[in-house]
Structure 1
Amino acid sequence: MMLKTFKKMTTMKRNKINVAVCAAVVLLGFGACQTPQATVVKSDLKERLLKRDSAHKATQDTLLWWKRFDDATLQTLIDTALANNHDVKMAVQDLAIAKSAILAKEGALRPVLSGKMGLGLSKVGRYTAEGAGNASTEMTPGHNVPTMIPDWAPGVQLDWTIDLWHKLQSDKKAAVERYLASEAGQRAVRNKLVAEVVENYYALLALDEKREVMLQYVALQKKAVQLAKIQKEADAGTQLAVEKFAAEVAKGEADECELREEIAAREHTLNLLLGRLPQAVERKPKDFAALPLPSAEGALAVERLLGRADVVQAEHALAAAKWDVETARKEFLPQLNVSAYLGLDAFNPKYLVRLPESVVWNALGSLTAPLINKRAIRAQFAQADAQQLNALYNYEKTLLGAFMETHAALSKLEHLSLVEGHKREQYAALTRAVSAVQQLYANNRASYLEVNDSEREQLDCRLSLIDQKLEQLSTLIGLFSSR
């Protein structure tokens, strides 16, 4: 009776211990399941811009913005650059890397099945429990267990991390957003390359026009030298006028040489962008100052700004950062792992085919959760949360910068157009003045200084008109290429 009472008390004590252990495990589990709260990030900048500029409407447009310039030669150069430029090729590879990251995250969601082939050889001591047992045990009729035991064990292993809390899904979504950001980044690289090609192409046309103007000026000054010599011989002028016009000829020829050097440098830059060896850049001469400008209508529409490559890239980077926070937060939750093995095992290969005697298998499921010393995952979460805030600030900065940049470009275009109108009026007046002063000089009623000053002012105004047109084109290129 006493023995039964003792056993009963022992059983009750053991049950209490088991209950206490289970309660402790449950409490620890609840503690492990507590997750920190992430900072809620939300930007109202987009809504404020939409509300502020509801009057601006986006027009139908194409991503191939350079088609607006309607130049077949330019289009050929752009096609060559897009095919050969190394920055574009590297951007394509960055996109491929981002796509591979998505495939890697998808693979983490699925079970892994591995093939195994185990080969082993073991020997146990004779004077051990296992060795003594083997010595008196027959492995097959009439054959005891050998001292040296080989082991053949082919099989397959299954390992699977079950995504209980969608942590792996969050990680995959972050990878998808980074891929979309890389896609926008590739578009930005392409737009930047095309913008540089277009700008250098028009800079070449402007330099060609300047050189032609300078050659005309030199020719005009050479005629002035001859006229000054004739007037000197007729005692109607002095050697000083001859020397002054000759100095203008030398200066004009020096300026023309500098323009040729600038043209060569531009051609080298353009050939580098095209990814080819140095060669002459094909182009047709045009009246550069009279080139028509494409319209910038609807450029300030918020819908268009939201589609800019840099804004789209920043937006997807922000979305990726949010999913990174979710992934880091779910690190605090328990993780369920399943592992299973199925195979054959025998000391001799010929016994592997004896089924089911040679079949071995096992299965294991484990639920693991962090209990103490969570500093690493807390630090990881804090880092992801801070990066999320940085991504938000970068998005707002990029969007606001895009709006201000576009607004400034449109304002600049408006003022440049007004300046161009005044410059054209100035050039027309100077052309009339030069014509008048040349007639007066020929009739000995104006000095060579007046002729020289008038012709130099006309030249400067003509060059200024070319620079004005180039600045307008450069502003438009920057406005279009940011889309």
Structure 2
Amino acid sequence: MKKLNKNQVYGFIAIAVLSLGVVGCKATSSVEKTEDKTVPEMFAGATKDTLNSGVISWKTYFKDAYLQSLIETALKNNQELNITMQEIEISKSEIKARNGEYLPFVGVGAGASVDKVARFTNIGAMEATTEIKPGKEMPEPLKDFKLGVYANWEIDIWKKLRNGKKAAVNRYLSSVEGKNFMVTNLVAEIANSYYELLALDNQLEIINQNIEIQSNALEIVKIQKDAARVTELAVKKFEAEVFKTKSLQFEVLQKIVETENRINFLVGRYPQHVDRSTGTFNDMVPNVVSAGIPSQLLSNRPDIRQAEFELAASKLDVKSAKARFYPSLGISAGIGYRAFDPGYLFKPESLLYSIAGDLMAPLINRNAIKASYNTANAKQIQAVYKYEQTILNSYIEVANQVSKISNLEKSYSLRTKQVEALTNSVSISNELFRSARADYMEVLLTQRDALESKFDLVDTKMQQLNAMVNIYRALGGGWN
């Protein structure tokens, strides 16, 4: 057989590398979708102003000291938030794992063994006639001692491993933004529950006042019944109304307990009394909110930034998956000492070393790689849609709250006038009843309407405060 010269060997290697490269480059074509970040210039119903309430700290935005204390406790103790913090630690560990993949892996090894081979075998026969040095035969049984350093390294030619690390970094940043979005929602949920609790306290106070009014009216009806001016039917109707209002009192008390416990759960503690403001609820004035411009949502809202990092990670995943079609180059090396006697272990003759390179590319049955690539490509397109959906949802949320704040302000003004009119009508109906110019049903209906109108006024005020909270959340406030 004709012996190949050095140039021919190099030529065959070059052809092999080229062939592997051609095979690897036959990757499935990608269908990349570019995200659309365009948003309207301003929110409907709002002025075009860059002043944005979403960048204000929650400690500045919420001025109630009791509410501030609840939020601060929740940020320390809320279990769901603490679970999310551990997700961040998991993502951080993933970065370290990916970072180690494209760096050389170096290890140290040591070992000892003993081996006795059969005499009538090729190895046994060779060892029996082999001398270590003149006059000194190979020991039997044969011991083996070794100590060395070894290394393995995949050369990241196509940035497959580095892109994997970058994807892990983006997912870590995404998990941080996910935590920020959770904080935003947690702050808003506590604030909404707190204002609901104040509204229920106010409703309970209204009920107690109404019970007193109805009880006084019942005494008047009893006196008029004794004077034969009304019948027993009127007395029973007034009594029934008092009982109805008292039963409503216990319904509100139950709602107060449930709302307090919802807050206790959010702050991570067992049921207990929730300290809160005792001022007049209807005198509370919502903050004046500036919505800013829609493009600010891209930097203010944690969920948008979270979707953006997920999108960046998915694009890198596509690149990593595509790189699996290309040849991979691996290098392995080792150096150390090996001898059958510890006394010879560190002699120059006991030194051994090795170095090898491997170039491999998928050739047949690449279905698994194609499937992985197609999956990564589909997830990238999916991430684009999710990103665009998050932007659209955030814009709509802000637009809804801007409109709601305006409409609730007008509604509250009209309901205030309604309460004033019905409160006056209660006094008028009582006077007319005493002078026999109105029947007891008119008095009852007037009292019922007045109670409902006061409840509605409190509910509208609560909606105003909730809208103040919700637009703050929608603008991306609360996490900073």
Q: TM (normalized to structure 1)?
A: 0.91
The structural deviation recorded for 1:306 is 4.3
CA deviation after TM superposition for structure 1 residue 300, in Å: 5.3
In structure 2, C-alpha distance between the alignment counterparts of 1:206 and 1:128, rounded to whole Å: 96
Q: Does 1:339 align with 2:338?
A: no
Q: Which amino acid aligns with 2:438?
A: A
CA distance in 1, matches of 2:349, 2:245: 103
Moved more, 234-243 or 444-453: 234-243
Structure 2 CA distance, aligned partners of 1:97 and 1:61?
29
Q: Could you give the per-residue CA deviations for residues 137-174 of structure 1, whole angstroms, max 9, x where no partner exists? A: 22245321133211101111111112112111111111
**Superimposed CA distance per residue, residues 15-68 of structure 1 (whole angstroms, 9 cap, x where no aligned partner):** 999977964663343222344432222122x22435898935242653633642
Q: CA deviation at 1:83?
A: 1.2
Equivalent residue letter for 1:433: S
Change (3 A) 1:25 1:219: closer
Q: Does the 8 Å contact 2:318/2:373 carry over to 1?
A: yes
* Whole-angstrom distance in 2 between the partners of 1:60 and 1:265: 31
Residue type of the alignment partner of 1:47 = T
Counterpart of 2:354 (choices 355, 362, 379) is 362
Q: Could you tell me which of 387, 395, 407 is aligned with 1:395?
A: 387
Q: Match for 1:146 among 139, 145, 162? A: 139
State the aligned residue count: 473
Q: Is 1:423 the equivalent of 2:415? A: yes
The answer to whether residue 167 in structure 2 is matched with residue 174 in structure 1 is yes
Give the equivalent residue in structure 2 for 1:120.
113
Task: Give unmatched runs, 5+ long, in structure 2.
Answer: none
Secondary structure, in 3 states, of the residue corresponding to 2:339? coil
1:111-260 maps to which residues of 2 (within 5 A)?
A: 111-260=104-253
Select 1:81's aligned residue among 51, 71, 74: 74
- The residue that corresponds to 1:267 in the other structure is 260
| 3-state secondary structure, aligned to 1:269 | helix
Structure 2: how far apart are the matches of 1:457 and 1:300?
43
**Contact residue 174 and residue 321 of structure 1 kept, 8 A:** yes
Cα 1:58–1:312 shift into 2, 3 Å: farther
Percent of aligned pairs with the same residue? 36
Instruction: Output the amino acid matched with 2:200.
Output: L
Q: Comparing 264-273 with 205-214, which one deviates more in the overlay?
A: 264-273
> Kindly tell me: are residues 306 and 221 of structure 1, through their superposed partners in 2, closer, same or farther at Cα, counting changes over 3 Å?
same
1:443 has 2:435 as partner? yes
Distance 1:373 1:296, change over 3 A: same
Answering whether residue 446 of structure 2 is matched by residue 469 of structure 1, we say: no
Amino acid at match of 1:390: Q
Instruction: In structure 1, list runs of 5 or more residues that go unmatched.
Output: 1-6
**Which position in structure 1 is the counterpart of 2:372?**
380
Mark the CA change 1:63 to 1:320 in structure 2 (over 3 Å): closer, same or farther.
farther
- Give the distance between the partners of 1:274 and 1:237, measured in 2 at CA: 56
Provide the rounded CA distance (Å) in 1 between the counterparts of 2:112 and 2:287.
76
Matched letter for residue 71 of structure 2: I
**2:85 counterpart SS class:** helix
Aligned to 2:294: 301
Q: Which has the higher contact order (CA 8 A, sep 6+)?
A: 2
Q: 1:478 aligns with which of 447, 466, 470?
A: 470
Is 2:128–2:138's contact at 8 Å kept on the other side of the alignment?
yes
Aligned counterpart for 2:38 among listed residues 31, 47, 52 = 47
Q: CA deviation at 1:205?
A: 0.8
2:40 partner SS: helix
Counterparts in 2 of 1:58 and 1:36: CA distance versus 1, 3 Å: farther
After TM superposition, the structure 1 = structure 2 runs for residues 66-105 of structure 1, keeping only pairs within 5 Å, are: 67-105=60-98
- In the TM superposition, what is the alpha-carbon distance from 1:113 to its structure 2 partner? 1.1
Q: Distance in 2 between matches of 1:409 and 1:481?
A: 10
Instruction: Give the structure 2 partner of residue 453 of structure 1.
Output: 445
The answer to whether the 8 A contact 1:306-1:399 is kept is no
Confirm whether residue 286 of structure 1 aligns to residue 279 of structure 2.
Answer: yes
Distance across 1 between alignment mates of 2:242 and 2:51: 53
Q: For structure 1, which segment, 212-221 or 406-415, has the greater mean C-alpha deviation from structure 2 after superposition?
A: 406-415
Shift of 1:262: 1.2
The answer as to whether partners of 1:300 and 1:403 remain within 8 angstroms in 2 is no
RMSD: 2.5
Query: 2:124 is aligned with what amino acid?
Result: G
Offset at 1:375? 1.3
